[in-house]
């Protein structure tokens, strides 16, 4: 991926930035849609060194492609969120990413979005005015994100935050068959009852690709896949029935251990597992595309 430097004339105060912005180490500084409010904020970012990605192709995937999800821009009030819905606040710093989960209290169009103050181990976290976030949320089969900053920290009658109202929200509909890139340890029970260690490399709501050191069965054999995911900061263990649709060894470099790829199709997925799996896949897919 190529990057190009962002200059002073590329950024306008009071308008959302049109691209994700990165520092000279190619770490995300600001998400697309964050609004620069002051000259000092703009100057500090430019002194640090700002870059954006150069597009190499149209990022929209067609409905038939089964590839990356398509996304679009909308207004915050179009999402029709309910009071009490969970939102994710993500910060980006030199030390890495931090994610917090908060509840939507309300919003006033064009003014602010009110959310609860993040907590950790039962304690309210210290938030500062001007702190920037990427906000992510789920609604139906879509996921949304926008850049924002805290413009007011309030503690009466309870701790809450006023976030700047987004000019636009990026929405993404996850198409059936879209696969999320993952690296999850899995335990697979084969048709013969034996247990195998495997790694999930990609995952969709309808199937997955696993690698293992040896074949875990033959084509059309039934297996059960158990793995762990984290959804909404809660650890969940899934056990999913599946059918092996493809089994083939991959070529390896000299001295490397051989690996066997297994393409699986999920079948008879219990409702509870489907809900958790969908939420996890949607979140990973959105985070893959949120920087793009």
Helix, strand, or coil (residue 57): coil
How many DSSP H helices and E strands does the chain contain? 2, 20
What's the pLDDT at 117?
A: 95
Global confidence as pTM: 0.50
For the chain, domains (ranges, CATH) are 3-53 (no CATH), 70-173 (2.30.110.10), 180-290 (2.40.10.220)
Three-state SS sequence of 92-154: EECCEEEEEEEEEEEEECCCEEEEECCEECCEECCCCCCCEEEEEEEECCEEEEEEEEEEEEE
* CA 178/CA 65 separation, integer angstroms: 9
* Residue 16: Cβ within 10 Å count: 18
pLDDT by 10s per residue, the chain, length 292: 467 777 777 777 777 777 777 777 766 777 676 777 777 777 777 777 777 776 533 333 333 334 444 456 788 888 888 898 888 888 765 555 677 889 999 999 989 999 999 998 889 999 999 888 888 887 766 778 888 999 999 999 999 999 999 988 887 665 656 788 889 999 999 888 899 999 998 898 889 999 998 889 888 999 999 999 987 667 889 999 999 999 888 765 566 667 889 999 998 888 778 878 887 887 777 666 544 4
Cβ–Cβ under 8 Å, residues 123 and 139: no
Residue with tokens 């915050």: 76
């Amino acid at each position: 991926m190529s990057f190009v430097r962002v200059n002073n004339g590329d950024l306008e105060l009071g308008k959302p930035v049109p691209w994700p912005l990165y520092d000279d180490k190619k770490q995300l500084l600001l998400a697309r849609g964050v609004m620069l409010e002051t000259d000092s904020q703009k100057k500090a970012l430019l002194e640090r060194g700002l870059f954006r990605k150069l597009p190499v192709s149209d990022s929209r995937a067609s409905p038939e492609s089964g590839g990356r999800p398509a996304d679009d821009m909308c207004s915050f009030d179009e999402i029709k969120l309910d009071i009490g819905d969970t939102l994710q606040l993500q910060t980006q710093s030199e030390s890495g990413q931090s994610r917090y989960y908060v509840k939507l209290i309300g919003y006033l169009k064009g003014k602010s979005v009110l959310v609860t103050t993040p907590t950790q181990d039962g304690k309210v976290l210290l938030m500062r005015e001007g702190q920037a976030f990427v906000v992510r949320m789920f609604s139906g089969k879509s996921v949304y994100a926008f850049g924002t900053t805290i413009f007011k920290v309030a503690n009466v009658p309870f701790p809450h935050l006023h976030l700047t109202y987004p000019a636009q929200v990026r929405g993404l509909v996850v198409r059936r068959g879209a696969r999320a890139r993952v690296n999850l340890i899995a335990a697979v029970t084969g048709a013969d009852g034996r247990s195998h260690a495997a790694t999930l490399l990609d995952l969709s709501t309808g199937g997955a690709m696993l690698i293992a050191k040896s074949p875990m069965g033959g084509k059309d054999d039934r297996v059960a896949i158990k793995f762990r995911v984290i959804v909404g900061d809660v650890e969940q263990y899934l056990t999913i029935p599946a059918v092996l649709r493809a089994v083939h060894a991959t070529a390896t470099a000299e001295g490397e251990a051989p690996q066997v790829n297994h393409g699986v199709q999920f079948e008879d997925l219990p409702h509870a597992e489907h809900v958790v799996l969908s939420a996890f896949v949607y979140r990973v897919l959105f985070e893959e595309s949120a920087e793009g």
